[in-house]
Structure 1
Amino acid sequence: MVYIHFIVNPISGKGSHEITETFLKRHFHESNYKIAVYHTKHPKHAIEITNAIVRYNPDCIVACGGDGTINEVASCLVNTPIKLGIIPVGSGNGLASNLNIPRDIDRAVEIIKHGTQSKIDVGRINDHYFFSNMGIGIDAMIIGKYEQSGKRTLVSYVKAALSASFWFKPVEARLKFEGQTVNMHPFLLFISNSNEMGYGMSLTPNASLSDGFLDLILVPELSFIQKLQLGLAVLRNKTNTFKLANHTLIRSLEAELPDRIFLDAQIDGEYYNLKTNKIKVGMINGGLKVLTP
């Protein structure tokens, strides 16, 4: 008997999915599976639910939602024997895409039933885990404006990116990583564990979820023309051709923004206002068990 809990975000993907208890019981027959289904009701609710059910030691907890829901569930499963399952019904679905988990719900269900267990690395920024990426540069402002739009679409994301490119002003950052000390005004400070950040776009197409490293991209303050060139490179998934982008593999990083009291950050595509001007980034090698094709 396989014991599975499902945590469903009912508004992911515009709320158009049909992941219901009836649907799941039809696919996970009681002769072979014991299942429980929960629906989230507010932001961070998936964390509350997952923490409450971890003590029952299910075989698997399945996040049915987008990257935000997946992050909330997965963060509670780091360094536990419980496997994460994913049914991606969000807008970006960057982590699921990297793991080759299809957006087709029936096919994703089959992976929950017959997939293999894989271990992936886990990133950490202060007290928060990330599984795809995080950043404290322009991407944090983009995500903030994207969330304010109230629309989880690619068009809304592009509009947010264009707006942020006009309003974002880089500030001084003091960085330490891999034996280096760097002072700069980063337009982009992006750290990725995954080769995709959603909507098929990637800043780190060569990143691996299981290589024991995080991929750091640093881009200095840019002119208007250089911003356009970077934007085009991002849309074409060719940031490696943008000469001002510095790519480095890291295991850890420390950053301080001395002119700030708090930091704006994006963590797995969700906006955070961190009540500090310092961050410590690290990683846990193979810290999460995930069901994959």
Structure 2
Amino acid sequence: MIYIHFIVNPISGSGKHNIGKTELEKYFPKDIYKIEVEYSNYKKHAIILTQNAIVNNPDCIVACGGDGTINEVASCLINTKIKLGIIPVGSGNGLASNLSIPKKIEKATEIIRKGKTQFIDVGKINDHYFFSNVGVGIDALIIKKYESYNKRTLISYVRASIASSIQFKPMQTILSFNNQIIKTNAFMLFISNSNEMGYGMSLTPKASLNDGMLDLVIVSKLNFLDKLILGMRVVSNKIEKFKKEQHTLIENINIEMPQKIFTDTQIDGEFHNLKTNKIEVSVIKSGLEVLTE
């Protein structure tokens, strides 16, 4: 008997999905599978549910939601023998897209039944894990504004991006990586493990989930015209043509913001306020086993 534990975010993707035990039993016959279904009802609830599920030693724990839900579930499975499954029903679905996991429940559950896996790298920022990306700079403000809107849609993301580009002020930042120290006024400081942010957009189209490296993108202070050009390059997935971005592969980086006390960040598309002005980011190579196409 194969034991699969599902953790469902009922409001992911505007709550339009109908994922529940009755629906899932259509794809996982009772003579082969034992399935349990639980629902996360608030931020970080999926962490508690996953930790409780691990005690029962399931073969797989499936996150049914967006990148935030996946992050909460997957963070508990690092360096365990329990596989992560994904049914993407969020807004952006960046990690699922990178892993070629489709949105249709029929196809996503088929991948889980086949049982094919791969190990992917995991990023770590201070005491938090990430699987897609983290941002310290304008994208943290974008996510903060995006979360304040009633609907999480592409239009909301664009709206938040425009408002943030007007409001955001670059920060004095000291970066230590690859045996060098860089001082900059960072407009964008983006560190990615995957090749997509969500909504089909990317700042790191060549990033790999299993190369043992993280992709670092640094964009320093920009004038208004450069901000417009950067926005167009991101939307059109042509960031490599934006000449004022610096792209580097790293295994770890130390970030310090001397003028700050706390640091706003986005971690896998969720806003976080870190109670420090010093940040350490590193990669855990092949830290998570994921069911994939």
Question: SS of the counterpart of 1:52?
Answer: helix
Aligned-partner Cα distance in 2 for 1:224–1:90: 32
1:206-221 equivalence runs, <5 A: 206-221=206-221
AA aligned to 1:219 is V
Question: SS of the counterpart of 2:186?
Answer: coil
Cα distance, 1:24 vs structure 2: 1.0
AA aligned to 1:200 is G
TM-score in terms of structure 1 length: 0.99
1:285 maps to 2:285: yes
Aligned-partner Cα distance in 2 for 1:104–1:21: 17
Aligned-partner Cα distance in 2 for 1:97–1:27: 22
Aligned-partner Cα distance in 1 for 2:245–2:6: 40
Question: Residue by residue, what CA displacement relative to the aligned partner does 1:249-281 show, whole Å, maximum 9, x if unpaired?
Answer: 000000010000000000000000110001000
Residue 148 of structure 2 corresponds to which residue in structure 1?
148
Aligned length: 293
Cα distance, 1:27 vs structure 2: 1.5
1:27 maps to 2:62: no
Question: Residue by residue, what CA displacement relative to the aligned partner does 1:96-146 show, whole Å, maximum 9, x if unpaired?
Answer: 000000011111010110141100000000000000000101000000000
Cα distance, 1:236 vs structure 2: 0.9
Cα distance, 1:55 vs structure 2: 1.6
Cα distance, 1:151 vs structure 2: 1.2
Residue 99 of structure 1 corresponds to which residue in structure 2?
99
Cα distance, 1:13 vs structure 2: 0.7
Question: SS of the counterpart of 1:68?
Answer: helix
Question: SS of the counterpart of 1:58?
Answer: coil
AA aligned to 2:219 is V
Question: Residue by residue, what CA displacement relative to the aligned partner does 1:219-261 show, whole Å, maximum 9, x if unpaired?
Answer: 0000000000100110111111111100000000000100000
Aligned-partner Cα distance in 1 for 2:235–2:14: 24
Residue 224 of structure 1 corresponds to which residue in structure 2?
224
Percentage identity across aligned positions?
61
Aligned-partner Cα distance in 2 for 1:219–1:42: 34
Question: SS of the counterpart of 2:25?
Answer: helix
What RMSD over aligned residues (CA atoms) do the two structures have, in Å? Answer: 0.6
Question: Residue by residue, what CA displacement relative to the aligned partner does 1:148-197 show, whole Å, maximum 9, x if unpaired?
Answer: 11211000000000000000001100110011100001100000000000
AA aligned to 2:27 is H
Query: Where does structure 1 lack aligned partners over 5 or more consecutive residues?
Result: none
Question: SS of the counterpart of 1:64?
Answer: strand
Question: SS of the counterpart of 1:29?
Answer: coil
TM-score in terms of structure 2 length: 0.99
1:1-293 equivalence runs, <5 A: 1-293=1-293
Query: Where does structure 2 lack aligned partners over 5 or more consecutive residues?
Result: none
Question: Residue by residue, what CA displacement relative to the aligned partner does 1:11-31 show, whole Å, maximum 9, x if unpaired?
Answer: 011111011110112211110
AA aligned to 1:127 is D
Aligned-partner Cα distance in 2 for 1:93–1:150: 18
Question: SS of the counterpart of 2:161?
Answer: helix
AA aligned to 1:119 is F
Structure 1 residue ranges (4+ consecutive) displaced by more than 2 angstroms after TM superposition: none
Aligned-partner Cα distance in 2 for 1:80–1:160: 37
AA aligned to 1:30 is K
